[in-house]
C-alpha cells in the first residue's frame, strides 16, 4: 500500500500548494473506517482507495478529487455518514463522495428499462460535477487491474460491464489511454486466448524484424531535424484489443494487418504541426483516405491532433499523430484537463473544455426524452464510439456497429425490406449502398418488387444478421434458378427417349433416387448438376439403361463403321452423341462424321457412294466431344469468371477461349467446351442463358473459319503494334 507521505509527494509534484494536512487527515480517516475490511485478494481494503487516488494524481487533479478517491467507499461500506464527511472535509468533498456512492449502486448491466433510468442518473451525476465520473473510472480501472482475485463468473460480469459502459465512457470523455487499458483488461478476461495469440505474434514479429518502433522513431526524428522542427517523437505498438477489433472489422488475420504501430510527434507550436506533416509526407507515401485534421476541426471534448497514415519501412503502414504539447495534455486527460494543476495553480490550457458546457451539450437533447428506450438509444448515440445510432424516416433509432452500411440498416428493420433494397438515401441524398453510416444520420431505404439480394452485398454488409439473411436469400434464388433449369433439362431428356417429364414421373424418380424433397428437389439437383438427366430418366425407366453403366470407348462410339475404318468428327458441325449423324468417306482419312443437317453435306450430294448411315452408340459417353459456343456478354468485372464457373458447375471443361470482338460495353467470346453429348450441351446452354450478364448465346458452326479470322486480326494488331513501337 502506498504510504501517505508518498501519496502527498505525488500530488506535490504538480501542485506544491496542496493542502497536505487535509490529504493526510482523509488518509487517516479512510484507513480507520475500513479497518478490518479485506479485499478478495486478502489485502487490506484500504489499499484500493489509496491506489485510486494514485491513479488520479497521474492526471494532476485537484485536492478535492484526490480526497474523494480516498473516501469514495466510506459512506457506502463503513459507518461513516454524509454529515460526518461534510463536517471533516467540507461540503464539496461530501457531495463528490455521495455522488460516487450513488454511481456505485447503479446496476448498469440490468434490463434495458432499468439501464435507461440508471443512465439518466449517471448523466445527472455528471452534470452536477464531472469529477464524480473521474473517480468512478479510476475506481473501475484499479478493480480491473486486480480482477484476478474475483470468482470467474464475477470477473466475466465486471469485464462485460467495463467493455460496454466504462471504456466507451472514458473514450467519450477524451481519456483514450484509460479507454484502451480498460478494454485490454476486459479483453484479457473475456477472450484471453485471442489476446495471448496476438501477444505471441508481436513477440515473433519483433524477433523477425527487430525493434521497428525504434527504427521508425529514429527516421522521423531525422526528418524533423532536417526540417528544423523542435519536437518529441515516440512510438508504441497498439493494444491487443485494438488490434483484435481491427481484425474483426476487416475480417483479416494478424499477418495482413498493417497499421499496428502508432507514433506521436509533439511540437511546440500549431504552425510546426503542419510543417511536421509536410516533412512526413515528403519522406513517406501517405495512405489515401487516412488523413484527419482535428486541429482545424476539434472534437467536442477538446481533442486536437492531425492524424495521418503512411507506408513506412518495408512497406509497413504506421499511424502518426501530430499535436502541440498543450494539445497532447488534453488528448491524454480529456475533459479532466480542466482540473489539471501545474506549479500549484489550475493549468491554463487553451484547449481544455469547460466540463459544464461539455456536459450541457451531452444532456440537453436527452431532457425531452420521456420514453426509456428512446432515452437509452439517444444517450448511447453520444457515448458509444464503437456503435452507430441512426434514424429511420419515422424517427426510430437503429443501433448498428461502426462501419455499417444502408444494407445493414435495411435488414435491421426487416428481412423483407433488406431483400427488396435497390437504393438508399442518407439525410435526403441518394448514396451508394456501400456508404458508411455515421452517428445521427437519417437513412431511407428504397425498395422495389422483384428485387433479390446480390452476392456482392456480402462484401458490403457488416452485421451478422444481414449476412445471414443475404446468404439465405441467395440460396433461395439459386434454388429457383436451378429448378427452372432442371425442368427444362428433364423435359428435354424424357422427350429424347419418347417420354414425358410429368409431376408424377418426377415424384417417382425422387423415391427411386431416395431424394428428400420430392419433385422440386430432383429438379433443383438436376439444374445444379448434382444429378444428371440420364440418372433421372433411368431411375424411372431402368430398361433404357442397358449398356449405360460403363463409359463407351471412343473407338466404338459410332455404330456403322467397320473395325478397319477410322473416323473423326467433322470440325464444321462438331456432332455430339445424341444427334443424328451420317458419315462421308474421305480417301486416306477414314470416315468423317457430320450432323445430318450440316451445310457442308451439300458438296457431297452428287457422290452417294461416299455416304454412310451411322448412329451413336447408346450409353454413357466420356466428356471429350468438343463443341464451340459463341457468347455475347457484358463488359463488366467478374462476368467472364462467373461464366466459366457456371460451365464448371455443369461438369464441362473449357478447352479453348478466343475473344472475337471487344467493345466498351460488351465482349463476344468463342469457347470450346468438352462435353459428353447433346444433352450435356443443352444443360450448359440453359445455365448460361439464365445468367443476367449474357446477352446472347449460340452454338457456333464452322468455328475454324472464325478462329482463323480472329487469329489473323490479332496478328495484324500485334504487327501494327510492333511497327508503331
The residues annotated with a catalytic role in the active site are 76-77
Q: Would strands 653-662 and 581-586 be described as parallel, antiparallel, or unpaired?
A: unpaired
- 62 CB-near residues (< 8 Å, 6+ apart): 15, 339, 341, 346
- 293 CB-near residues (< 8 Å, 6+ apart): 306, 307
CA torsion, ordered 268, 271, 277, 279, to nearest 10 deg: -90
Decide: helix, strand or coil at residue 65: helix
Q: How far apart are CA 171 and CA 384, in angstroms?
A: 8
**105, 112, 120, 141 from 108: Cα distances, Å:** 9, 9, 11, 16
Q: How far apart are CA 234 and CA 649, in angstroms?
A: 56
Decide: helix, strand or coil at residue 674: strand
**Closest by alpha carbon to 577, among 625, 627, 544?**
625
Q: How far apart are CA 171 and CA 361, in angstroms?
A: 17
Residue tagged 456512492 (cell numbers)? 101
List phi, psi (to 5°) of 336: -65, -15
Query: Cα 611 from chain centroid?
Result: 66
- 297 CB-near residues (< 8 Å, 6+ apart): none
DSSP 231-260: EEEEEEEPPHHHHHHHHHHHT--GGG----
Q: How far apart are CA 170 and CA 153, in angstroms?
A: 24
**Closest by alpha carbon to 429, among 414, 410, 443, 439?**
443
Decide: helix, strand or coil at residue 633: strand
Ramachandran quadrant class, 42 (left: phi over 0; alpha: psi -120 to 50; beta: rest): left
Q: Would strands 261-267 and 317-324 be described as parallel, antiparallel, or unpaired?
A: parallel
Q: How far apart are CA 171 and CA 303, in angstroms?
A: 11
Helix axes 355-363, 112-128, angle to 10 degrees: 150
Helix axes 518-527, 464-496, angle to 10 degrees: 90
623: burial class by Cβ within 10 Å (0-12, 13-18, 19+)? middle
DSSP 381-434: HHH-SSEEEEE-TT--EEEEETT--HHHHHHHH-HHHHHTEEEEEETTEEE-TT
Cell of 8: 502527498
Cβ neighbour number for residue 706 with a 10 Å cutoff? 17
Q: How far apart are CA 171 and CA 724, in angstroms?
A: 62
Residue tagged 425442368 (cell numbers)? 487
Say if CB 324 and CB 336 are below 8 A apart.
Answer: no
List phi, psi (to 5°) of 285: -80, 125
Cell of 530: 448434382
Q: How far apart are CA 253 and CA 55, in angstroms?
A: 35
Decide: helix, strand or coil at residue 339: helix
Question: How many CA atoms does the CB half-sphere of 567 hold within 13 Å?
Answer: 25
Amino acid at each position: 500500500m502506498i504510504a501517505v507521505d508518498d501519496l502527498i509527494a505525488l500530488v506535490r509534484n504538480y501542485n506544491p500548494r496542496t493542502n497536505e494536512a487535509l490529504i493526510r487527515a482523509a488518509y487517516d480517516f479512510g484507513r480507520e473506517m475500513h479497518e478490518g475490511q479485506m479485499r478478495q485478494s486478502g489485502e487490506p481494503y484500504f489499499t484500493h482507495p489509496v491506489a485510486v487516488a494514485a491513479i488520479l494524481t497521474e492526471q494532476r487533479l485537484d485536492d478535492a478529487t484526490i480526497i474523494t478517491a480516498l473516501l469514495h467507499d466510506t459512506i457506502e461500506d463503513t459507518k461513516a455518514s454524509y454529515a460526518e464527511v461534510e463536517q471533516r472535509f467540507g461540503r464539496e468533498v461530501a457531495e463528490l463522495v455521495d455522488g460516487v456512492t450513488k454511481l456505485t449502486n447503479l446496476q448498469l448491466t440490468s434490463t434495458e428499462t432499468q439501464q435507461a433510468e440508471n443512465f439518466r442518473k449517471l448523466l445527472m451525476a455528471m452534470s452536477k460535477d464531472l469529477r464524480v465520473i473521474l473517480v468512478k473510472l479510476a475506481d473501475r480501472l484499479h478493480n480491473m487491474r486486480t480482477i484476478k482475485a474475483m470468482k470467474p463468473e464475477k470477473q466475466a460480469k465486471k469485464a462485460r460491464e467495463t467493455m460496454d459502459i466504462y471504456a466507451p465512457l472514458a473514450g467519450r470523455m477524451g481519456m483514450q489511454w484509460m479507454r484502451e487499458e480498460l478494454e485490454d483488461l476486459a479483453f484479457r478476461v473475456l477472450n484471453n486466448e485471442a489476446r495471448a495469440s496476438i501477444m505471441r505474434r508481436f513477440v515473433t514479429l519483433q524477433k523477425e524484424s527487430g525493434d521497428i518502433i525504434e527504427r521508425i522513431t529514429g527516421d522521423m526524428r531525422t526528418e524533423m531535424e532536417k526540417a528544423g522542427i523542435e519536437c518529441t517523437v515516440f512510438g508504441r505498438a497498439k493494444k491487443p484489443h485494438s488490434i483484435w477489433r481491427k481484425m474483426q472489422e476487416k475480417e483479416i488475420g494478424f499477418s495482413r494487418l498493417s497499421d499496428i504501430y502508432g507514433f506521436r510527434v509533439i511540437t511546440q507550436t500549431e504552425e510546426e504541426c503542419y510543417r511536421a506533416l509536410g516533412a512526413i509526407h515528403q519522406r513517406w507515401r501517405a495512405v489515401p483516405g487516412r488523413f484527419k485534421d482535428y486541429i482545424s476541426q476539434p472534437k467536442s471534448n477538446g481533442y486536437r491532433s492531425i492524424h495521418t497514415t503512411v507506408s513506412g519501412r518495408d512497406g509497413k503502414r504506421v499511424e502518426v499523430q501530430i499535436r502541440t504539447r498543450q494539445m497532447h495534455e488534453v488528448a491524454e486527460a480529456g475533459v479532466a484537463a480542466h482540473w489539471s494543476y501545474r506549479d500549484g495553480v489550475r493549468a491554463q490550457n487553451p484547449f481544455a473544455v469547460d466540463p459544464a458546457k461539455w456536459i450541457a451539450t451531452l444532456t440537453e437533447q436527452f431532457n425531452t426524452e420521456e420514453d426509456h428506450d428512446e432515452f437509452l438509444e439517444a444517450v448511447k448515440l453520444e457515448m458509444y464510439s464503437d456503435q452507430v445510432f441512426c434514424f429511420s424516416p419515422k424517427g426510430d433509432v437503429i443501433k448498428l456497429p461502426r462501419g455499417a452500411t444502408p444494407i445493414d440498416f435495411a435488414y435491421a428493420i426487416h428481412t423483407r425490406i433488406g431483400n427488396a433494397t435497390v437504393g438508399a438515401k442518407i439525410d435526403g441524398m441518394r448514396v451508394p449502398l456501400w456508404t458508411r453510416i455515421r452517428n445521427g444520420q437519417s437513412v431511407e431505404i428504397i425498395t422495389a418488387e422483384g428485387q433479390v439480394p446480390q452476392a456482392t452485398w456480402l462484401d458490403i454488409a457488416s452485421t451478422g444478421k444481414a449476412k445471414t439473411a443475404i446468404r439465405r436469400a441467395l440460396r433461395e434464388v439459386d434454388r429457383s434458378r436451378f429448378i427452372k433449369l432442371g425442368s427444362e433439362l428433364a423435359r428435354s431428356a424424357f422427350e429424347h427417349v419418347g417420354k414425358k417429364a410429368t409431376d408424377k414421373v418426377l415424384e417417382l424418380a425422387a423415391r427411386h433416387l431416395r431424394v428428400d424433397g420430392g419433385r422440386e428437389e430432383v429438379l433443383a439437383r438436376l439444374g445444379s448438376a448434382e444429378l444428371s438427366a440420364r440418372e433421372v430418366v433411368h431411375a424411372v425407366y431402368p430398361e433404357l439403361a442397358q449398356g449405360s453403366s460403363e463409359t463407351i470407348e471412343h473407338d466404338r462410339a459410332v455404330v456403322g463403321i467397320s473395325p478397319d475404318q477410322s473416323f473423326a468428327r467433322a470440325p464444321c458441325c462438331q456432332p455430339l452423341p445424341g444427334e443424328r449423324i451420317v458419315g462421308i468417306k474421305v480417301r486416306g482419312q477414314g470416315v468423317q462424321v457430320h450432323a445430318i443437317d450440316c451445310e457442308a453435306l451439300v458438296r457431297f450430294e452428287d457422290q452417294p457412294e461416299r455416304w454412310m448411315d451411322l448412329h451413336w452408340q447408346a450409353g454413357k459417353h466420356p466428356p471429350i466431344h468438343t463443341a464451340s459456343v459463341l457468347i455475347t456478354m457484358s463488359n463488366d468485372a467478374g462476368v467472364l469468371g462467373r461464366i466459366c464457373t457456371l460451365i464448371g458447375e455443369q461438369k464441362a471443361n473449357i478447352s479453348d477461349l478466343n475473344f472475337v470482338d471487344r467493345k466498351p460495353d460488351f465482349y463476344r467470346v468463342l469457347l470450346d467446351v468438352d462435353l459428353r453429348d447433346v444433352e450435356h450441351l443443352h444443360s450448359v446452354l440453359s445455365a448460361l442463358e439464365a445468367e443476367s450478364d449474357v446477352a446472347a448465346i449460340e452454338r457456333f458452326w464452322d468455328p475454324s473459319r472464325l478462329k482463323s479470322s480472329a487469329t489473323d486480326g490479332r496478328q495484324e494488331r500485334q504487327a501494327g503494334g510492333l511497327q508503331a513501337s
